[in-house]
Amino acid sequence: MVEVFPRLLPPLWVTIKVSFISLFLAFFIGLFFGSINSVFSKLNPINLVSRFYVWIVLCTPIIIQIYAAYLLLPKIGIKLDVFWVGVIALTFNSAGYQIEISRASITSIDKGQYEASKTLGMGLFTTMIYIIIPQAIKRMLPATANEASHLIKASAVLSVIALLELHKAAINLQGNSFKFIELLALQAFLYLPIVLGTSYIANFLQKKNDDKSSRIDLVK
Amino acid sequence: MPNILSIKNLNVFYEKFHAVKDIDLSLNEGEIFVICGPSGSGKSTLIRAIAGLEKPKSGEILINNKAMNEKEVLNKNIFGMVFQQFNLFPHLSILENITLPLMKVKKISKSESIEIAHGVLSKVKILDQKDKHPSKLSGGQQQRCAIARSLAMNPKIMLFDEPTSALDPEMINEVLDVMTDLASAGMTMIIVTHEMGFAKKIANKIILMDNGEIIESNTPNNFFNNPETERTKSFLNQVLQH
């Protein structure tokens, strides 16, 4: 056990990287389309496309999305390292959820905020950037933390496209050493601190915001 | 005093519902105009349409005898609007609530914005609260901050949509005092309110609205002591009963 442990650390780092890069990208994609979704009509072409996209993501298993990225990207001439294929697949998946999280948070902001901004002469873009989105991000935190922990665990599925992340590395070691149970436990033990750490950071951010302004504004 | 605002044949609809019917109004510079009426009478809709928050179906709004659409009205900061629910920005401090629109809309530098903010905050007597967030302030203080935020944009006319209706009774006076100060400083104001004593004291003209129409338009003295219509009499009986 002790001797295989160091061999799992580089793959652990891959897991962290692939999850957080995807989360970061998905967060901003989500915020962008979520904003457009909540301020423009349902029939706006961008909204129709993003609704369709969310629908695809939410209604198909992540393993199919990962295989699709792996098999289809080269077909359209995009040849990437398997790590970046993993990032694209996870971002594709997570952005679907993030759009929904952003949309829900932005629509929950009181319409009085838009009206006050309007009467002060602020345009819609200024209002979104300085008034609505900062408040919405605060409300997005709990759900985004949830999504982060989901994403970290879902990154294990990237083993199917042979990305050497934590789970794939453990499978390889199981094949060599036949210590199935031990490696299973060790993997689980290594996922735990990342997920816990993420929710700790989310709690910390939320507390920090909580002190700064109103309590009743938080969803939680 | 020159005419600053006239409204001609203003009609506002909410889908099929005719909320404001053929309203004509005229207001001179420095005048205080009070709108009262039962709920659902269209008084809020009228003031919101003037502010540019509701799109009128027909009618004209003239500022200094020049017709303007909602866009121009909003972009030129003709009106300062004060809402019943304050609508301060909860994620910003009191000071930032005032400086942000100055910097983003009027493109004024940060240091100059802070100077303007200090000026308006001391006018409404909450300069000592400037670094707090709105949720840490009482309702009356929040409403005074909202007034300061509108004043900072240097509007021609201040609009008040039931500014004291969401306040505890003890806090109503501090807001009314600020409004009285503004009036004596010569600000033109349109006020929707249920505070009849205040209306009587401050107004140059009072109108009563019901069902989207102006029932009576009168001087405060005549309005309270010698109303022209039965509807005004019964309204006053209702609101002055206690």
User: Rounded CA gap, A25 and A98, in Å?
Assistant: 10
Residues in B 95-154 with any Cβ partner in A closer than 8 A = 100-101, 104-106, 133-135, 146, 149-150, 153
Asked if the model's pLDDT at residue A120 lies above 70, the reply is: yes
**What is the per-residue pLDDT for B75?**
86
Task: Specify the pairing of strand B205-210 against strand B32-36.
Answer: parallel
Q: What is the CA radius of gyration of chain A?
A: 20
Contact A214 B133 (CB under 8 A): yes
Residues in B 171-230 with any Cβ partner in A closer than 8 A = none
Find the mean pLDDT for residues B208-213: 92
* Paired tokens of A104: 């829900």
Q: How many CA atoms lie within 13 A of A201 on its CB side?
A: 10
Find the mean pLDDT for residues B30-49: 92
Q: Which amino acid is at A196?
A: L
**What is the per-residue pLDDT for B69?**
85
Q: How many CA atoms lie within 13 A of B237 on its CB side?
A: 6
Contact A121 B135 (CB under 8 A): no
**What is the per-residue pLDDT for B95?**
96
Q: What DSSP string describes A57-83? A: HHHS-HHHHHHHHHHHHHHTT----HH
Whether residue B240 contacts residue B196, with contact meaning beta carbons closer than 8 Å, is answered with yes
Residue B103 banded pLDDT, cuts 50, 70, 90: very high
**What is the per-residue pLDDT for A214?**
47
CA distances from A166 to A156, A188, B163 (A): 7, 10, 60
User: Rounded CA gap, B187 and B199, in Å?
Assistant: 16
Asked if the model's pLDDT at residue A220 lies above 60, the reply is: no
Asked if the model's pLDDT at residue A147 lies above 90, the reply is: yes
User: Rounded CA gap, A167 and A174, in Å?
Assistant: 10
Find the mean pLDDT for residues B18-23: 91
Find the mean pLDDT for residues A6-23: 92
What order do you get walking across the sheet with B157-161 strand by strand? Answer: B79-82, B157-161, B188-192, B32-36, B205-210, B213-218
- For residue B228, give the 3-state DSSP assignment: coil
Asked if the model's pLDDT at residue A218 lies above 60, the reply is: no
Residues in B 73-92 with any Cβ partner in A closer than 8 A = 74-77, 79-81, 83, 85, 87-91
**What is the per-residue pLDDT for B105?**
94
| Average model confidence (pLDDT) across chain A | 89
**What is the per-residue pLDDT for A5?**
81
Asked if the model's pLDDT at residue B175 lies above 50, the reply is: yes
**What is the per-residue pLDDT for A211?**
58
**What is the per-residue pLDDT for A83?**
95
Say whether the ipTM exceeds 0.85: yes
Q: What is the pLDDT of residues B188-200, one digit of tens each?
A: 999 999 889 999 9
- Residue A100's contacts (CB-CB under 8 Å, 6 or more residues apart) are A30, A34, A54, A58
**What is the per-residue pLDDT for B240?**
80
Residue A2 banded pLDDT, cuts 50, 70, 90: low
**What is the per-residue pLDDT for B2?**
86
Residue A180 banded pLDDT, cuts 50, 70, 90: confident
Contact B101 A138 (CB under 8 A): no
Asked if the model's pLDDT at residue B230 lies above 50, the reply is: yes
Residues in A 119-138 with any Cβ partner in B closer than 8 A = 119-122, 126, 130-131, 134-135, 138
What order do you get walking across the sheet with B17-28 strand by strand? Answer: B17-28, B3-14, B58-63, B66-67
- For residue B211, give the 3-state DSSP assignment: coil
User: Rounded CA gap, B80 and B48, in Å?
Assistant: 11
User: Residue B67 burial (CB < 10 Å; 0-12/13-18/19+)?
Assistant: exposed
A150 sits in the region (left: phi over 0; alpha: psi -120 to 50; else beta) called: alpha
Minimum distance, in Å, between the CA of residue A122 and any CA atom of chain B: 6
Nearest one of B74, B47, B37 to B199, comparing CA atoms:
B37
Q: What DSSP string describes B20-40? A: EEEEEEEEETT-EEEEE--TT
- For residue A213, give the 3-state DSSP assignment: coil
Q: Which amino acid is at A42?
A: K
Q: What is the pLDDT of residues A85-119, one digit of tens each?
A: 999 999 999 999 999 999 999 999 999 999 999 99
Angle at CA B228, nearest 5°, toward B224 and B231?
85
**What is the per-residue pLDDT for A210?**
67
Which of the pair, A42 or B130, is modelled with greater confidence? B130
Q: What is the pLDDT of residues B145-159, one digit of tens each?
A: 999 999 999 999 999
Find the mean pLDDT for residues A43-65: 93
Find the mean pLDDT for residues B176-180: 94
**What is the per-residue pLDDT for A6?**
84
* Strand ranges in chain B using DSSP code E only, listed in sequence order: 3-14, 17-28, 32-36, 58-63, 66-67, 79-82, 157-161, 188-192, 205-210, 213-218
Give the predicted TM-score (pTM) of the model: 0.88
Residue B129 banded pLDDT, cuts 50, 70, 90: very high
Q: How many beta carbons lie within 10 A of that of residue A180, not counting itself?
A: 13
| Average model confidence (pLDDT) across chain B | 92
Q: What DSSP string describes B123-137? A: HTT-GGGTTS-GGGS
Tokens 């920005």 belong to residue: B89
What chain A holds in terms of domains, given with CATH numbers, is: 5-219 (1.10.3720.10)
**What is the per-residue pLDDT for A44?**
87
**What is the per-residue pLDDT for B242?**
65
What percent of chain A stands above pLDDT 70? 94
Find the mean pLDDT for residues A124-132: 95
